[in-house]
Amino acid sequence: MNLAVSLQELEAPVVRRSDVVVVGGGPAGVSAAVAAARTGASVTLLERYAALGGLASGGMVLVLDDMCNGSEVSVRGIVAEYVDRLRRIGLAVYPPESDRISSPEMWRRWGRWGAFDFHSHASPKPICYAVAFDPDGWKRVSNDLVRDSGVHLRLHSWFSRPVLEDDRLRGVVCETKSGPQAVLGDVVIDTTGDIDVASRAGAAYSHDGYLVTLVFRLGGVDTEAAQRFEQENPREVRAINRKVKRMLGGAWELWWLKTPVPGVVWCNCPHMTGYDGADPESLTAAEFDARERISAVIEYVRAELPGFQQCYLVDVAEQIGVRQTRLLQGEYVVTKDDIAERRHFPDSVARGRDYYTPYRALLPRGVDQLLIAGRHYSATPEAQRISREIPPCMAMGQAAGIAAGVAADRGQTVRELDPALIQAGMREQDADPGDVPASNATVELEVV
C-alpha cells in the first residue's frame, strides 16, 4: 500500500538534507551509514529508540555467527571492526583459531559460548569462529563508529511516511516529540527490519512469519558449577533441560550461554510461534506470554538446577526478537536452493557463511533511489530463515551504503550503478563482497 507523501504535499518541516538517508539504526543500518560516509557522502541515520544496535543490543542477540565458511572467515569489514573494538574493551569472547576443531575438549571449553557450527549434525558440533558480546558494549561501539565516520545521527525519530516524487524516493517523514519532521536525501536505505519504508512507498513484498523471542539474561549464576553438574549428571540434566524448554515453548539446543560478564548468562528464548511481528496487538500479546514463561523458568531452575540456585533476572530485552515479517520482492528473489547450493552471482556484493547476496536482491521494483539491507531483503521465507543472521545482514548494509555513496558521487541512480563499483568499494573497506566464488560455490554465469 502506497502511503507516501509528495514534496508538494509535504507539510512537515525539513530538518536535514543529506546525500544518503538511512532509516533504522540496527546492525545493518549502522553498517550502511558508516560505509556510505566513508565514501565521502553526507549521511543522516534515523533511529526510533534511544540507542543504536537494534536486535544486537536492544534485542540482545548476543552471539555473532553465520560468518565463516569452514576455516575461512567469510564476513569481514565493519563486522570485524565491531569485534576488534569490543575485544579491546573486554566485551567480546571468541575461540582462537587453534581451538576451532571438533572434539569433546573444545566443546566443553567453547560450547557454552555459542561458538559452534549450529548447521552441523556432528556430535559434538565443531567449534567455529563466532563471537559472544555484551549488548551495552555494542551500543558504545555503534556510537563510536557513527561519530568517528561523521554520520549525522537522529535518535528518537520514528519513521512515518516516505517522501515520493514520480516513483523516486526523496526522503522520509519521522514522528518526534517535536512533531513530524522531514529528512530529505538523494538515496534512502531501508534497514528497518520490516521494510517499513519500502512497503509504504509501494514496493512489492510478501508477508510471512516465524519465531519471535523475548531474550533475557540471568545473573548470579555459578557457570562452573552448572557445567560440572552437566558433565557429571548428563541424564538428569537432559531431563531438566527438557522441562525448561517445554516451559519456554521452545529453545535452541542450549537454552543458556555464557557472556563476557562473569556470572551473567544469556537465554535466547522463549521461542514463540503464532505471533505477527508487524502487528502491535500480536506483539503486545507476545510480550505478556514471554514474561510469564520467563518467570516460571526462573522459579524452576532456582529449585532444580545446580549453579542456578541464586540466579536472578538481570534484564529482559528492550525489543522483542522478530525474525520475519515483510520480505521485499525485489529485482531478484533469493531462494532456498540459492542458499543451499551456494549459488554465486556475478553481481554478488555481500557474503554470508557460504552463500552470496546479489545486488538485485537489495533493489525494489518500481521505486527508485531506494535500497534495502537486512533481514527483510528480497528472499523467499524459506531462504530468509537460513540467511538472516546479524553478520550477513551487516554485510548487506555495508554494500548498500557503498552503493548509495558511490551513486550519489557519480550522479547515477542506484539502479543503474555497476555492481563492480560496489564490489571494489567493499574490498577498499576490508569487506568481502563475494565477487570471487569459493571452491564449494555453484557459479551462475550471467545475470538474469
Averaged over 339-348, what is the pLDDT? Answer: 97
- Looking at residue 437, which CATH number applies to its domain? 3.50.50.60
Domain boundary among 270, 295, 322: 322
- Residue 2: C-alpha distances to residues 41, 299, 392 (Å): 29, 48, 29
Q: What percent of the chain has pLDDT over 70?
A: 99
Same domain, yes or no, for 112 and 156?
no
Cell numbers that stand for 348 in this block: 554478488
Same domain, yes or no, for 182 and 200?
yes
Does residue 338 register a pLDDT over 90? yes
What integer pLDDT is reported at residue 425 of this predicted model? 98
What integer pLDDT is reported at residue 440 of this predicted model? 86
Does residue 447 register a pLDDT over 60? no
Same domain, yes or no, for 152 and 223?
no
The residue type of 276 is: D
What integer pLDDT is reported at residue 445 of this predicted model? 53
Distance (Å, rounded) from C-alpha 268 to C-alpha 216? 7
What integer pLDDT is reported at residue 119 of this predicted model? 87
Averaged over 375-384, what is the pLDDT? Answer: 98
What integer pLDDT is reported at residue 446 of this predicted model? 55
Distance (Å, rounded) from C-alpha 30 to C-alpha 402? 12
Give the model confidence (pLDDT) of 155-214 as tens digits.
Answer: 999 999 999 999 999 999 999 999 999 999 999 999 999 999 999 999 999 999 889 999
Same domain, yes or no, for 340 and 431?
yes
Give the model confidence (pLDDT) of 81-134 as tens digits.
Answer: 999 999 999 999 999 999 999 999 999 999 999 999 988 889 899 999 999 999
Q: Coil, strand or helix: which one is 284?
A: helix
Does residue 1 register a pLDDT over 80? no
Same domain, yes or no, for 234 and 357?
no
Does residue 448 register a pLDDT over 50? no
Same domain, yes or no, for 28 and 144?
yes
Assess if residue 391 is contained within a domain: yes
Cell numbers that stand for 384 in this block: 530468509
The mean of the pLDDT values for the chain is 96
- Domain of 237 in residue numbering reads as 211-322
Does residue 438 register a pLDDT over 90? no
Averaged over 58-73, what is the pLDDT? Answer: 95
Do 219 and 311 touch, CB atoms closer than 8 A? yes
Does residue 148 register a pLDDT over 90? yes
Does residue 76 register a pLDDT over 80? yes
Distance (Å, rounded) from C-alpha 17 to C-alpha 184? 5
Q: Does a cis peptide bond (omega within 30 degrees of 0) precede residue 270?
A: yes
Q: Coil, strand or helix: which one is 262?
A: coil
The residue written with cell numbers 545482514 in the block is 393
